[in-house]
């Protein structure tokens, strides 16, 4: 084993030196390969951290960039060189030369004087007014390095900020909120902050009705003759600005062209066909939409003072309806009015009313199941004319067991999901409308699922729900279902499964009749969309209630033997909550991702345990990856060794923790190292699952695993391959659960029994 490792290191070193040295032999005698730039800060008056920051910032400005390196090697340049001059552009050599390869960046391509001017200009913009920069180069073994010597001097700070006042309405509005200025006494001078301050003032003015104002109408003069390396900043409005920029504007008339074509048909924009409804005019010759739809979306009304926030909110609400392919608007000054006013025009291009789409996915699980599912989805947009969306999804799929011991226990699934969504709150006797950029939704769901596990059993599942979705903003989302009903009915249980259940009664959990009548609420806080901050957070909290009112009325008590039936079925009664908290720390090309998932289910009244479909599971591709799917717990319980079926261990309480370090390796390939821990437990004791009840020793019962992974980011999706192995096994005797000392990667038997491979789509969390 050691010999092979040394051999691999030796070959890698040979390859490294071969590629590094061979790239320069293709250069002409007077040429040198440019390999990058260095910044040398010549200042003893600045601290180490400040020098390091200046150097890093300046390096990003130097041009050109040297040839890219992969694992320290200029492989793209090497490919370009060895390809030569291919006669056929579509050949392998042509692909290496023109597609994968990269032409050499030469020392002659570097303009030292120009770069020095760019660096000096940048430093002056950052307050180093006495900065000096000159460039030089060194050449060794036909490799050139540019060296830029920088004398930044001391950085100037802001001594004072003065708003030059006059009697204009614009100046008075600026003065009213000038305490919010970004220009603070004592802060370093920074031209970028000055630009941001101009944008802040402009946004504030637009929020107060100055529609035609712009940042370019503001001047910030700098007086650097204050001494002590300080400057005074004088903020003022240009003396001569357009007349329209000096006035606030109110909304005059609002026109909506609901069937606008990009071809610009005259009928689409003719005001003669406008219908007046409440506070706006609707032009919809095809009569596609009811006016009430736009009344709920618009934030502007005639007589309102123009504000940028209402402007953006209206556009966002129209876009988030999901009905229009294009949404645009314009404002123009109204003529013949006593005061400055704006006419508002919205041009909406509808999406196709009906659409059909197909989706096919492949799956691979750590429990030796592979499969596929195809979904056909049909949508009818605006089905009742007020923005309603009807979605019908039919799906069918299979999972094939390829383990030699379990061959033939395949799974087939089919179902139908129907959802009718209204872009508003529908609440009896109450009119509710949100004011944010997202339109609320009222949803009615109805679905059926058919599950057939060959040689085992068949399940019929029905579910329906009535509820609401709404978003406060881009990061906060709520989902409330006052009514949620699930009914699971087992069919065709095979004799083989019944016989196995006699030996292992826990198998009966999977084929329980389940009747869940309750409500649920979910809150999500998500900072992961769009540009992520350095420290990003994600939180998902769920509260699920079932059978509470029915149990209260009937006085059900399953523990005392008093089980109550509703419509001939024993309904479930429980309180269930789950919180999923994640923290991401971004460090450039490396991210540290963490998750803690806590779930607690309290069965009471008519139930002694959560229904199987509501219980928690640990193990698998997106969980504790060193253990097979659903194979961990509950507690220290271990299923009988003669169980012929896949593990399906569940619990009422769950604790799972994951930490993963993700780093970009090269091109589309990312790597990861991770540690996972978790388990599930029962709320009540079960004689069939000894050691499964939750206790104060729960931390001593965690399953722990570690591993490595590769992620292939191909833009439209991320393909993930993880390999993991256990560090701690909860069902082993106390004191013997840690198995780190038994790790032996050189043993084929150990690898076969311990390495778990996980293939997934997307990140695990």
338 and 399 together in one domain: no
Q: Which of 151, 179, 201 is the last residue of a domain?
A: 151
pLDDT in tens, 447-482: 999 999 888 889 999 999 999 999 988 899 999 999
687 and 589 together in one domain: yes
Helix (H) or strand (E) holding 665: strand 653-666
Residue 283 in contact with residue 258, Cβ under 8 Å? Answer: yes
- Does residue 459 form part of some domain? no
574 and 705 together in one domain: yes
Residue with tokens 């609440």: 427
180 and 317 together in one domain: no
pLDDT at 333: 94
Question: What CA–CA distance (Å, rounded) separates 25 from 3?
Answer: 34
Question: What CA–CA distance (Å, rounded) separates 466 from 482?
Answer: 7
63 and 128 together in one domain: yes
pLDDT at 8: 46
Q: Which of 218, 246, 274 is the last residue of a domain?
A: 246
315 and 448 together in one domain: no
Looking up residue 542, the CATH number of its domain turns out to be 2.40.160.50
724 and 597 together in one domain: yes
- Does residue 483 form part of some domain? yes
Segment 398-406 shows an average pLDDT of: 65
696 and 715 together in one domain: yes
Question: Which pairing describes strands 653-666 and 590-603: parallel, antiparallel, or unpaired?
Answer: antiparallel
Q: Which of 246, 281, 314 is the last residue of a domain?
A: 246
- Does residue 199 form part of some domain? yes
Does residue 308 register a pLDDT over 80?
A: yes
Q: Closest Cα partner for 628 from 721, 726, 698?
A: 726
Question: What CA–CA distance (Å, rounded) separates 179 from 732?
Answer: 65
557 and 618 together in one domain: yes
Question: What CA–CA distance (Å, rounded) separates 395 from 374?
Answer: 6
Q: How many CB atoms lie within 10 A of CB 189?
A: 24
pLDDT at 395: 95
- Does residue 460 form part of some domain? no
* pTM exceeding the 0.75 threshold for the entire prediction: yes
165 and 146 together in one domain: no
CA angle 182, 185, 188 (to 5 degrees): 80
259 and 122 together in one domain: no
Question: What CA–CA distance (Å, rounded) separates 174 from 510?
Answer: 67
Segment 141-147 shows an average pLDDT of: 93
Looking up residue 226, the CATH number of its domain turns out to be 3.10.20.310
pLDDT in tens, 265-293: 545 556 777 889 998 999 998 889 999 99
- Does residue 104 form part of some domain? yes
- Does residue 627 form part of some domain? yes
pLDDT in tens, 638-675: 877 665 566 778 999 999 999 999 998 877 889 999 99
Task: Note down the domain range covering 479.
Answer: 465-761
- Does residue 262 form part of some domain? yes
pLDDT in tens, 193-217: 999 999 999 999 999 999 999 999 9
- Does residue 458 form part of some domain? no
Q: How many domains does the chain have?
A: 5
Average pLDDT across the chain, whole number: 88
389 and 357 together in one domain: yes
């Amino acid at each position: 084993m050691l010999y092979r490792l040394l051999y691999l290191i030796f070959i890698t070193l040979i390859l490294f030196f071969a590629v590094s040295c061979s790239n320069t032999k293709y250069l002409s005698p007077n040429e040198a390969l440019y390999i990058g730039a260095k910044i040398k800060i010549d200042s003893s008056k600045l601290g180490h951290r400040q020098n390091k920051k200046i150097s890093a910032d300046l390096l990003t400005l130097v041009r050109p960039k040297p040839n890219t390196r992969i694992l320290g090697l200029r492989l793209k340049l090497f490919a370009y060189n060895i390809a030569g001059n291919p006669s056929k552009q579509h050949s392998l050599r042509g692909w290496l030369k023109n597609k994968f390869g990269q032409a050499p960046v030469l020392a002659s391509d570097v303009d030292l004087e120009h770069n020095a001017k760019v660096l000096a200009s940048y430093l002056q913009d950052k307050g180093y007014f006495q900065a000096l920069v000159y460039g030089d180069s060194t050449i060794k073994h036909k490799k050139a390095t540019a060296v830029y010597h920088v004398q930044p001097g001391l950085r100037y700070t802001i001594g004072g900020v003065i708003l030059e006042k006059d009697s204009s309405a614009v100046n008075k509005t600026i003065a009213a909120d000038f305490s919010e200025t970004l220009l603070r006494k004592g802060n370093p001078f920074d031209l970028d902050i000055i630009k941001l301050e101009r944008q802040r003032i402009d946004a504030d003015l637009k929020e107060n009705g100055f529609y035609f104002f712009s940042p370019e109408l503001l001047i910030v003069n700098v007086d650097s003759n204050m001494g002590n390396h300080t400057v005074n900043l004088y903020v003022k409005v240009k003396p001569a600005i357009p007349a329209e920029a000096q006035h606030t504007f109110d909304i005059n008339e609002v026109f909506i062209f609901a069937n606008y074509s990009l071809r610009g048909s005259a009928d689409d924009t003719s005001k003669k066909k406008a219908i007046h409804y409440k506070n706006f005019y609707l032009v919809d010759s095809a009569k596609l939409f009811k006016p009430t739809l736009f009344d709920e979306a618009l934030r502007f009304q005639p007589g309102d003072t123009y504000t940028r926030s209402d402007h953006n909110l209206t556009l966002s609400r129209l876009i988030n309806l999901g009905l229009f392919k294009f949404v645009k608007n314009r404002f123009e000054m109204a003529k013949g009015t006593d005061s400055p006013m704006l006419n508002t025009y919205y041009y909406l291009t509808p999406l196709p009313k009906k659409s059909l789409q197909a989706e096919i996915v492949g799956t691979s699980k750590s429990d030796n199941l592979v499969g596929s599912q195809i979904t056909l989805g049909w949508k009818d947009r605006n089905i009742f004319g007020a923005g309603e969306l009807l979605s019908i999804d039919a799906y069918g799929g299979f999972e094939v067991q390829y383990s030699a011991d379990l061959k033939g226990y395949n799974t087939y699934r089919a179902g139908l999901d129907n959802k009718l969504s209204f872009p508003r709150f529908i609440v009896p006797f109450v009119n509710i409308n949100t004011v944010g950029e997202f339109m609320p939704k009222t949803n009615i769901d109805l679905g059926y699922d058919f599950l057939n596990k060959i040689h085992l059993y068949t399940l019929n599942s029905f579910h329906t729900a009535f509820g609401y979705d709404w978003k406060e903003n881009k990061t906060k989302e709520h989902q409330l279902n006052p009514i949620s009903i699930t009914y699971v009915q087992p069919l065709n249980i095979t004799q083989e499964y019944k016989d196995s259940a006699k030996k292992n009664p826990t198998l009966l959990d999977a084929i329980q009749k389940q009747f869940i009548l309750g409500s649920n609420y979910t809150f999500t806080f998500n900072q992961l969309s769009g540009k992520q901050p350095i420290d990003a957070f994600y939180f998902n909290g769920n509260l699920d209630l079932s059978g509470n009112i029915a149990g209260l009325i009937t006085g059900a008590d399953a523990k005392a033997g008093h089980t109550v039936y509703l419509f001939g079925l024993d309904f479930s009664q429980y309180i269930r909550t789950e919180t999923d908290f994640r923290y991401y720390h971004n460090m450039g090309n490396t991210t540290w991702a963490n998750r803690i998932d806590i779930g607690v289910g309290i069965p009471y009244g008519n139930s002694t345990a959560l229904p199987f479909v509501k219980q928690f599971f640990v193990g698998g591709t997106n969980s504790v990856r060193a253990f097979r799917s659903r194979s961990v717990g509950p507690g220290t319980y271990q299923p009988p060794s003669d169980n012929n079926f896949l593990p399906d261990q569940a619990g009422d309480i769950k604790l799972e923790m994951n930490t993963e370090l993700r780093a970009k390796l090269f091109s589309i390939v990312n790597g990861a190292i991770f540690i996972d821990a978790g388990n599930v437990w029962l709320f009540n004791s079960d004689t069939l699952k000894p050691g499964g009840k939750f206790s104060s020793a729960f931390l001593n019962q965690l399953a722990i695993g570690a591993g490595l992974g590769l992620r292939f980011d191909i833009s439209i999706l991320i393909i993930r391959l993880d390999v993991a192995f256990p560090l701690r096994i909860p069902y082993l005797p106390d004191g013997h659960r840690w198995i780190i000392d038994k790790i032996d990667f050189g043993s084929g038997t150990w690898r076969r029994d311990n390495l778990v491979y996980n293939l997934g789509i997307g990140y695990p969390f």
